[in-house]
Amino acid sequence: MTTRYRLLDLTVDLARQRVERGDVTLDIAGLSFQLLACLIERGDRVVGFDELMEAVWAPAVVNEETVTQRVRLLRQALGDDARQPRYIRTVRGRGYQLGALPERLAGEAPRRRHSVWPALAAVGVLAAVALGAGFLAHEQKPVLTAQQELLQRAHWYAAMGQRENNERALALYDRALHEAPDDADALTGASRTRSARTCLYNAGADDARDALRLASRAVTLRPELADAWSALGYARDCLGDISGAIAGYEHAVRLDPTDDASRSSAAYLYQEQGRLADALRANLDMHGDPARVRFRDVQVAREYELLGFDAAAEVRFRHVFELSPDNVFSNLAWPGFLFARGRFDEARAALAEARERGTPRAELAQLEGELALRRNDPVAAANAFAQARAIRPDSRLQTTLAAIYGPVPVNPVWLRQRIAETRSSLADDPWPVGRIELVVLLQAAGDRRGAIAALSDAVDKGWRDAGYLRASPLFSSIAGDPAFEAVIAAIDRRVAAERQRVLAAPWCPADLKTRQLMQDSNQRGRDLRM
């Protein structure tokens, strides 16, 4: 039975883990949703820290600061103001309380714990025994084995999307594998959490290689298990193997068409290949609740941006950034969007907010360095690029930027060797971003023609972010060159073709078609006035 509540202007569905304000689904999941559910289930009474920690975090051991931080994130997601709260009140020295009594929506029976035995007291003894057995068989949860309970708890931690909980999940998966080395579910979970170390939490490639080994074993043992194929795709994704990752994700979706997470992961890689229409279609073709796919909203916004639907992209980027402060990729994407649009003061403010929110990201430090270069502050730029390298010492681009823009002039011998190494590494590299490092290196060496040729190669591999190329000072020595402008024009042509595919497709969102008609009408008006 579903249980839905009204809290002021919110509708909260505890069973589906969904929060809506009118027709808008708020991005509230994981610990934030569990915290909100805990408060709702306790009506309008004050809930203390100990009770919250037991209900939301147990068996993990956390402190009051953890609870306070999660309340702050939940308030941000709800659009609540701690100084004048509507939804969640702080009761000093005691805990937290809802700002209003939640109202159970019509048709919902009250949730209560009960025993079947009092209800059977008026029935004869034999009937009581028979009916009691039937009721208990229906209501009792199946007894889990120790291994199943271990995996259930590991899955719970892994779903939270935080570094420390990812580590807790990994420890539990490893323990499960120690008990049962051929448990495909344990192999799959251990693979995913190791891949997350590499992809989300700045670890090196060794974890992703271990993840690939574990996922490959799971696929061998259970070739019909969609989760195993998805984990295989994720490991290859984190190792930079685009075609192998796509193959894993697509196989997972064929086995389980409801696997929206794998569908969205494949969409991201289509985007990196320049297949923008395919990426958008995949992200719009969700078979379940789209709000359950953690980074999908950011990807759709990014696809809108690359396709040239800037207004629609801005609405989505801003929405996720404001309501989901613990969403890693929105913290990267919103400042980046503002930067690529030339809105540098806004980008700097968004960047400062994003960096206060959690896990350090090399991309944010790099953006800070690029903003410093734009305002002619080489010292701040050098410090930012050095920080980016410290966060991701295995990243080639971060190492190159730290060397070229560092306080000591780059060694010409190192530069020549670095160029040769980079050219060699790109021979089998399908990712367009690798060519961006080569562009930077060749500019530093004074080879403008070579730099532009490398940029053209990046476009051929799928690079479609012309806005970033125009805005970033990393390309200042070739910007304005006719050959550079020709590369930008090539991007514009390819994007225009993808945009037309989207607008002509039956699945194209109505708001995009409306915005495009308005844009075309405005352009015709400008043309007539000229």
**Local confidence band at 114 (pLDDT 50, 70, 90 cut-offs):** very low
pLDDT at site 359: 64
Choose the weakest-confidence range: 137-151, 291-305, 458-472: 137-151
Residues 448 and 379: their CA atoms lie apart, in Å, by 25
Contact of 515 with 311, CB cutoff 8 Å: yes
pLDDT tens, 221-259? 999 999 999 999 999 999 989 999 999 999 999 999 999
Cα→Cα distances 393→396, 408, 436, 499, Å = 8, 19, 18, 37
From CA 484, how far away is CA 497, in angstroms rounded? 21
- Work out the mean pLDDT of the chain and round it to a whole number: 86
Residues with Cβ within 8 Å of residue 137, at least 6 apart in sequence: none
The whole-number pLDDT of residue 142 equals: 58
Q: How far apart are CA 11 and CA 105, in angstroms?
A: 9
Q: Reduced to 3 states, what is the DSSP secondary structure of residue 104?
A: strand
Structure tokens at 324: 């989901």
What 3 state SS string does 444-459 have?
A: HCCCHHHHHHHHHHHH
Show the tokens assigned to 456.
């053209």
Confidence of residue 518 (pLDDT cuts 50, 70, 90): low
User: CB within 8 A of 123, min separation 6: which ones?
Assistant: 131
Class of domain 4-104: mainly alpha
1-22 residue pLDDT tens: 447 888 888 999 888 888 888 8
Cα separation, 383 vs 364, whole angstroms: 13
Q: Is the dihedral of CA 333, 337, 339, 345 positive or negative?
A: negative
Mean pLDDT lowest for which of 36-40, 118-122, 396-400? 118-122
Distance CA 348, CA 468 (A): 15
Q: Between vectors from CA 427 to CA 421 and to CA 428, what angle results, nearest 5°?
A: 120
Residues 266-310 pLDDT 10s: 999 999 999 999 999 999 999 887 877 878 999 999 999 999 999
Q: What is the pLDDT, as a whole number, of residue 519?
A: 66
Beta-strand ranges (E) seen in 212-259 are none
Q: Which residues pair with 48 in a beta bridge?
A: 95
What is the Cα–Cα distance from 471 to 145, expressed in whole angstroms?
57
Identify the helix (H) or strand (E) that includes residue 197: helix 184-199
User: pTM here?
Assistant: 0.70
Angle between helices 226-238 and 260-272 (to 10 degrees): 30
Q: At 7, phi and psi to the nearest 5? A: -125, 100
Other beta carbons within 10 angstroms of residue 181's beta carbon come to: 10
Long-range contacts of 259-262 (CB under 8 A, 24+ apart): 259/226, 259/230, 260/286, 260/287, 260/288, 260/290, 260/292, 260/293, 260/296, 261/230, 261/293, 261/294, 262/226, 262/229, 262/230, 262/233
Q: Where are the domains of the chain?
A: 4-104, 410-530
Highest mean pLDDT pick, 134-143, 221-230, 393-402: 221-230
403 versus 28: the higher-pLDDT residue is: 403
369 in Cβ contact with 385 (< 8 Å): yes
Q: What residue has token string 């002021």?
A: 8
pLDDT at residue 385, as a whole number: 97
Peptide bond into 142 cis (omega under 30): no
